[in-house]
């Protein structure tokens, strides 16, 4: 359904498109990220610092003063509850046009002494705005009122049909979809919102489970030629490693070897904390494949990580006669040609590389296993695409955002899961300190003396997805600042996501080679790069990151045998933020941290464009709503076993691309 049909102008349409809203369906699932409850209180009940909502009569003409670039303040008086209230508005000069004797509805903060700082205002009658009001994520050019209007138009112009089959709807006493969508955008009362959420969450989980379980059935039907290899050789190689593998690593390897030997394709996720030793598990899988005479492809998200894997894999496997090579897009043409040639004629057993591994010109002699590292970069749909790249190949995905096992079996329902919960012995937990400061002022001396001892340091600034320009300025400014204040001998560089891949890789490589001491970066360094001497990390505005993300980030330090340190800087005074960050100081357990993270992050964040690899439910909260998730899982199993009775469900499942769990 086109947005034009609900009276969206072309200009506004463009803005909506840039927010990822392309159709009426997208619009209706642009759910409020929170609700405000508007209640009017008499003036003598107002308390200082409190949010107030009222309708006033303008009794003095607005006076505008401008200062600085594009900055202004407007002041005027209104009469409310027989009191004269002084209003202050920042940076909205157009309010000058409001006329004396007209009414205005104000939402603002009471500063005490008859003064209110206005946050929002409009000229609509207050009676129409009482109750629960949705608050949407918006962008310049689209405001809350526009969205409310479009929602209303959409709900009036279209009747949205039910997806949930009638028997289940009756069983759980769920309201109709159309009504649920109406109430989520125009709730009026708490109870309506609750009913609407129950319905939409259930539908969201049900769709997700249907797809996941269907995929799983599909996978189980794909057969392949079982791999035959001498297992003793693999255990011998494991014995020859300079350290003993943990029990969890061994179990993961056993799971995988079983999968490889079976004549069903493997579709397995290995999840484990940063530093839990997932790479070796992958290496043993590739060895098995090579022994069976089949090629493996080891896919890394970045070139630098690919190079690192290349070094690790060849170190372990080449002594056993396994040929390992590297392939990425910026490789010299001649070299690429040689690698491609040798891949085609089967001389290469293991190829390590980036997405270049799946370009059309790359042909394999007999690809039998694909491993994707740091799976959190891939969503469900990308996983499917990877799977389709090969013909009946085994797939192994590795995730460093581990989640509790029970949750994993629900969320990664299309895959089998091996969890590595135990870290190698002797690993020193990173010492994490919360610094309630906005700068490095109090810790700078400590950091510099670590560097003097030969350590390297990461300094991370927050990446705000919607406003990259601001972040880049942050990184660059911080760099300028530090460069001009610190002695020459501290060599530094900066890195951010807007740089080209080549540039990023080059900087990272020279950091690995210890050509400089301090790397100032956005969270682009998140993914598994190993820098032996990087033992210190400072994270600015730490409250802006997710817990799991910080845990990932700090996993970059203390990779060698030296003690790693992480400083979390924050100027936030919000007790919840501080409590959250404290979790990181108290725990080094990625499973525990991800659980806390999932519990704390709001639905808006879960949707995150960051591709956590954890499905982006818009409404459903996988921890709080785990009972709905469980029920939906069982119902999905029942429905799938009985598809002929549910043509609409069947149609949904057979739809090729799953773009959201809502449509």
Footprint of ligand ADP (CB under 6 A) = 243, 245-246, 249, 272, 274-280, 400, 424, 528
**Nearest-approach distance from CB 242 to ligand ADP, in angstroms:** 8
Nearest-angstrom CA–CA distance, 528 and 525: 8
Which residue number, 53 or 412, has a Cβ lying nearer to ligand ADP? 412
User: Residue 256's Cα: distance from chain center in Å?
Assistant: 28
The binder of 271, among Mg ion, ligand ADP, none, by C-beta within 5 to 8 A per type, is none
- Residues lying near Mg ion in the complex (CB under 5 A) are found at 528
Q: Of Mg ion, ligand ADP, none, which one sits near residue 570, judging by CB under 5 to 8 A according to partner kind?
A: none
Contact partner at residue 518 from ligand ADP, Mg ion, none, CB < 5 to 8 Å by partner kind: none
Comparison of 275 and 620: residue with beta carbon closer to ligand ADP: 275
**CB nearer ligand ADP, residue 246 or residue 354:** 246
Smallest distance, Å, CB 277 to ligand ADP? 3
- CA distances 405 to 271, 359, 413, 419, 420, Å, are 9, 34, 11, 7, 10
Q: Minimum CB separation from ligand ADP for residue 410, in Å? A: 23
Closer residue to Mg ion, CB minimum distance, 270 or 463: 270
CA–CA distance, 585 with 431 (Å, rounded to integer) = 7
Considering beta carbons, is residue 116 or 531 the nearer one to ligand ADP? 531
Task: Look at residue 275 and give the partner it binds from ligand ADP, Mg ion, none, a contact being a CB closer than 5 to 8 Å depending on partner kind.
Answer: ligand ADP
534-539 and 565-569 strand pairing = parallel
The interface partner of residue 277, options being ligand ADP, Mg ion, none and the CB cut-off 5 to 8 Å by kind, is: ligand ADP
Burial of 124-163, coded b for 16+ CB within 10 Å and e otherwise, reads eebeebeebbbebeeeeebeeebbbebbebbbeebebebb
Cα–Cα dist 341/364, whole Å = 9
Residue closer to ligand ADP (CB basis): 530 or 541 = 530
Binding at 276: pick from Mg ion, ligand ADP, none (beta carbon under 5-8 Å per type): ligand ADP
Degrees (nearest 5) of the Cα angle 355, 357, 360?
A: 100
Q: What number of other Cβ atoms are within 10 A of residue 406's Cβ? A: 10
DSSP 320-333: GT--EEEE-TTS-H
- For residue 484, give every residue at least 6 positions away whose Cβ sits within 8 Å of its Cβ, in sequence order, or none: none
Measured from the CB of residue 354, what is the shortest distance to ligand ADP in angstroms? 17
What is the rounded end-to-end Cα distance, in angstroms, of the chain? Answer: 12
| 55 Cβ contact list (under 8 Å, min separation 6) | 40, 80, 103, 104, 105, 106, 125, 126
Residue 243 contacts which entry, Mg ion, ligand ADP, none (Cβ below 5-8 A, type-dependent): ligand ADP
CB-nearer residue toward Mg ion: 223 or 611? 611
Residue 539: CB minimum distance to Mg ion, A = 20
Is residue 108 within 8 Å of residue 116, measured between CB atoms? yes
Q: What is the DSSP letter of 489?
A: T
Q: How far is the CB of 45 from ligand ADP (least distance, A)?
A: 56
- Spatial CA neighbour of 198 closest among 651, 624, 663, 647: 624
3-state secondary structure of 264: strand
Tell me how far, at minimum, the Cβ of 453 lies from ligand ADP, in Å: 22
Decide which of ligand ADP, Mg ion, none touches 418; Cβ closer than 5 to 8 Å per partner kind.
none
Q: Under a CB-based contact definition with an 8 Å cutoff, are residues 567 and 613 in contact?
A: no
Q: How far is the CB of 112 from Mg ion (least distance, A)?
A: 55
596 binds, among ligand ADP, Mg ion, none (CB under 5 to 8 A by kind): none
Closer CB to Mg ion, 27 or 283, in the complex: 283
Q: Which residue is nearest to ligand ADP (CB)?
A: 277
Q: Which is nearer to ligand ADP, 207 or 562 (CB)?
A: 562
Q: Which residue is nearest to Mg ion (CB)?
A: 528
- 264: β partners: 223
Q: Does residue 378 contact residue 386 with C-beta atoms inside 8 Å?
A: yes
């Amino acid at each position: 359904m086109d947005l034009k049909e609900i009276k969206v102008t072309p200009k506004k349409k463009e803005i909506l498109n840039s927010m990822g809203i392309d159709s009426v369906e997208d619009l209706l699932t642009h759910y409020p990220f929170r609700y405000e409850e508007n209640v009017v209180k008499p003036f003598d009940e107002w308390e200082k610092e409190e949010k107030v909502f009222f309708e006033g009569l303008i009794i003095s003409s607005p006076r505008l003063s401008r200062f600085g670039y594009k900055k202004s303040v407007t002041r005027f008086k209104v009469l409310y509850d027989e009191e004269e209230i002084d209003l202050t508005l920042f940076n909205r000069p157009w309010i000058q046009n409001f006329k004396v004797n007209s009414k205005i509805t104000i939402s603002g903060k009471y500063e005490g002494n008859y003064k209110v700082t206005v946050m929002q205002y409009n000229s609509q009658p207050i009676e129409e705005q009482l109750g629960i009001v949705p608050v949407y994520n918006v962008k310049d050019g689209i405001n809350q009122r526009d969205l409310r209007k479009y929602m209303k138009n959409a709900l009036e112009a279209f009747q949205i049909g039910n997806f949930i089959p009638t028997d289940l709807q009756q069983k759980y006493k769920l309201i109709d979809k159309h009504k649920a969508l109406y109430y989520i955008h125009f709730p009026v009362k708490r109870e309506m919102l609750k009913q609407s959420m129950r319905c939409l969450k259930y539908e969201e989980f049900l769709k997700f489970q249907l797809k996941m379980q269907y995929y799983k059935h599909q996978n189980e039907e794909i057969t392949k030629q079982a791999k035959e290899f001498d297992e003793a050789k693999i255990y011998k190689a494991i014995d020859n490693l300079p350290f003993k593998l943990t029990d969890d690593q061994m179990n993961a390897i056993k799971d995988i070897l079983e999968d490889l030997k079976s004549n069903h394709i493997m579709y397995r996720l290995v999840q484990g904390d940063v530093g839990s030793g997932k790479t070796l598990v992958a290496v043993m899988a590739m060895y098995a494949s090579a022994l069976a005479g089949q090629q493996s492809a080891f896919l890394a998200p970045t070139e630098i990580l690919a190079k690192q894997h290349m070094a690790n894999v060849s170190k372990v496997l080449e002594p056993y006669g396994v040929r390992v090579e590297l392939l990425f897009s910026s490789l010299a043409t001649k070299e690429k040609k040689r690698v491609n040639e040798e891949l085609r004629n089967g001389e290469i057993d293991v190829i390590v590389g980036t997405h270049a591994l799946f370009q059309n010109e790359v042909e394999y002699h007999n690809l039998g296993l694909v491993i994707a590292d740091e799976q959190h970069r891939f969503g469900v749909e990308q996983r499917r695409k990877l799977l389709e790249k090969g013909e009946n190949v085994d797939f192994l995905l590795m995730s460093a955002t581990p989640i509790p096992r029970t949750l994993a079996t629900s969320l990664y329902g299309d895959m089998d899961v091996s969890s590595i919960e135990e870290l190698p012995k002797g690993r020193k937990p990173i010492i994490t300190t919360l610094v309630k400061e906005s700068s490095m002022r109090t810790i700078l001396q400590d950091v510099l003396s670590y560097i003097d001892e030969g350590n390297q340091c990461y300094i991370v600034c927050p990446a705000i997805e919607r406003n990259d320009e601001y972040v880049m300025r942050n990184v660059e400014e911080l760099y300028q600042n530090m460069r001009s204040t610190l002695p020459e001998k501290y060599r530094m560089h900066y890195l951010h996501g807007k740089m080209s891949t080549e540039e990023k890789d080059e900087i990272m490589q020279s950091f690995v080679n210890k050509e400089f001491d301090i790397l100032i970066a956005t969270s682009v360094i998140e993914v598994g790069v190993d820098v032996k001497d990087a033992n210190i990390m400072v994270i600015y505005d730490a409250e802006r990151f997710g817990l799991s993300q910080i845990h990932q980030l700090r996993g970059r330090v203390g990779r060698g045998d030296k003690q790693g340190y992480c400083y979390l800087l924050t100027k936030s005074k919000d007790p919840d933020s501080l409590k959250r960050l404290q979790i990181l100081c108290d725990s080094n357990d990625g499973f525990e941290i991800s659980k806390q993270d999932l519990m704390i992050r709001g639905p808006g964040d879960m949707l995150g464009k960051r591709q956590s690899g954890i499905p982006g439910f818009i409404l459903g909260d996988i921890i709080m709503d785990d009972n709905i998730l469980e029920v939906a899982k069982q119902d999905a199993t029942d429905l799938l076993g009985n598809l002929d009775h549910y043509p609409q469900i069947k149609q949904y499942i057979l739809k090729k691309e799953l773009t959201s769990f809502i449509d």
